[in-house]
């Protein structure tokens, strides 16, 4: 079974509190780790959740507010003390590149690995791709330039039917092509349709991270068809006006985005420190969209 797991390392807003760390998530995709936002406490929480620093290859920072990036200098420095090798790419909005380049130059002078900073195009687009996954960015609507990220597993191969492979005596050299959807042509020219010799592939999974943003239907458009959506839900209904002024969303608005996008499940987080529990936020989001999960430090969500 292939792994596509969301790990919540921080889900509070603005500042660290006794209840929550600021924003940070790690996507564990088949044992490779992709970090999204890196608030204070990220590296401590990684340790608590027993994640291997060496597996971290990319960090995606949504915007340059401290609660989304103050964990970065400490984490990058620690990686060097762990003698990480190879390369680590930090994707961040252009406006953060100069200041973080200087911090890295100053504190990570004798780094054991290469730290690359890659500026995000404010228009969005594919920012990482390999044989199994793509990562796209898309614009959000906050007080400063802010991007969301979509992780899409690439389409999987069809399953071979062992009985049919044996029955038609299909040579090994053709099996991969058949998994990709090819028909089998027997030596006498007879065509055996793919549907007879395979079963459907497992569904490719996708995950969208909607960081700090106003409610905006363009966000739903950008994440349309994504399986699981994380969306900030800083406030409840009574704080609607404050949410608008501060460039944030209410839980109900997060629910509306998930509904408009046709998601299967919604994860909410980035709670204001005024809430002792996320209960009221879950309740109000659920009135718009049925399947709501409240983020919490240490939570692991398997997307399968």
If we measure between CA atoms, which residue out of 254, 227, 220, 226 comes closest to residue 240?
Answer: 254
CB of 199 to Zn ion, least distance (A): 46
Site string for Zn ion, 170-209 (x = CB under 5 A): ----------------------------------------
* Residues ≥6 apart with Cβ < 8 Å to 56: 26, 33, 34, 35, 79, 84, 88
Continuous H helices in 168-250: 172-179, 194-197, 217-222, 240-246
SS3 241: helix
Query: In the complex with Zn ion, which residue's Cβ is closer, 122 or 177?
Result: 122
Cα atoms found within 13 Å of the Cα of residue 121, Cβ hemisphere only: 9
- Does 248 bind Zn ion (CB under 5 A)? Our answer is no
CB of 136 to Zn ion, least distance (A): 21
State which of positions 50-69 bind Zn ion (CB under 5 A): 65
CB of 63 to Zn ion, least distance (A): 6
- 12 secondary structure, DSSP code: B
Catalytic residues: 67
Round to whole Å and give the CA distance between 225 and 102: 39
Are the C-beta atoms of 55 and 33 separated by less than 8 Å? yes
Query: In the complex with Zn ion, which residue's Cβ is closer, 8 or 79?
Result: 8
Size of the site for Zn ion (CB under 5 A): 2
Which element (helix H / strand E) includes 6? strand 4-10
Site string for Zn ion, 203-222 (x = CB under 5 A): ---------x----------
Query: In the complex with Zn ion, which residue's Cβ is closer, 85 or 245?
Result: 245
Query: In the complex with Zn ion, which residue's Cβ is closer, 25 or 198?
Result: 25
CB of 91 to Zn ion, least distance (A): 17
If we measure between CA atoms, which residue out of 193, 140, 141 comes closest to residue 164?
Answer: 193
Map tokens 């909607």 to a residue: 210
Query: In the complex with Zn ion, which residue's Cβ is closer, 133 or 269?
Result: 269
CB of 151 to Zn ion, least distance (A): 21
Binding site for Zn ion (CB under 5 A): 65, 212
């Amino acid at each position: 079974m292939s792994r596509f797991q969301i790990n919540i390392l921080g889900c509070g807003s603005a500042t660290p509190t006794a209840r929550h760390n600021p924003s940070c998530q790690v996507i564990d995709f088949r044992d490779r780790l992709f970090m999204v936002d890196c608030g204070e406490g990220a590296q401590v929480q990684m340790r608590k959740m027993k994640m291997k620093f060496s597996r971290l290859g990319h960090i995606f920072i949504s915007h340059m507010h401290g609660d989304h990036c103050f964990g970065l200098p400490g984490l990058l420095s620690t990686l060097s003390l762990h003698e990480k090798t190879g390369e680590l790419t930090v994707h961040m909005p252009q406006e953060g590149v100069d200041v973080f380049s200087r911090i890295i130059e100053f504190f990570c002078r004798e780094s054991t690995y290469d730290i690359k900073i890659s500026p995000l195009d404010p228009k969005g687009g594919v920012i990482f791709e390999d044989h199994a996954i793509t990562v796209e960015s898309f614009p959000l609507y906050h007080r400063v330039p802010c991007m969301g990220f979509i992780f899409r597993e690439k389409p999987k191969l069809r399953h071979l039917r062992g009985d049919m492979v044996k029955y038609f005596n299909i040579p090994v050299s053709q099996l991969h092509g058949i998994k990709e959807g090819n028909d089998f042509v027997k030596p006498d020219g007879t065509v055996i349709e793919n549907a007879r010799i395979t079963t459907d592939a497992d569904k490719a999974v996708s995950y969208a991270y909607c960081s700090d943003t106003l409610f905006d239907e363009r966000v739903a458009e950008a994440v349309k068809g994504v399986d699981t959506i994380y969306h900030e839900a800083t406030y409840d209904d009574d704080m609607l006006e404050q949410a608008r002024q501060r460039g944030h969303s209410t839980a109900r608005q997060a629910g509306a985005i998930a509904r408009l996008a046709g998601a299967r499940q919604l994860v909410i987080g980035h709670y204001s420190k005024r809430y002792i529990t996320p209960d009221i936020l879950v309740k109000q989001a659920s009135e718009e969209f049925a399947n709501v999960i409240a983020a919490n430090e240490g939570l692991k969500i398997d997307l399968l």
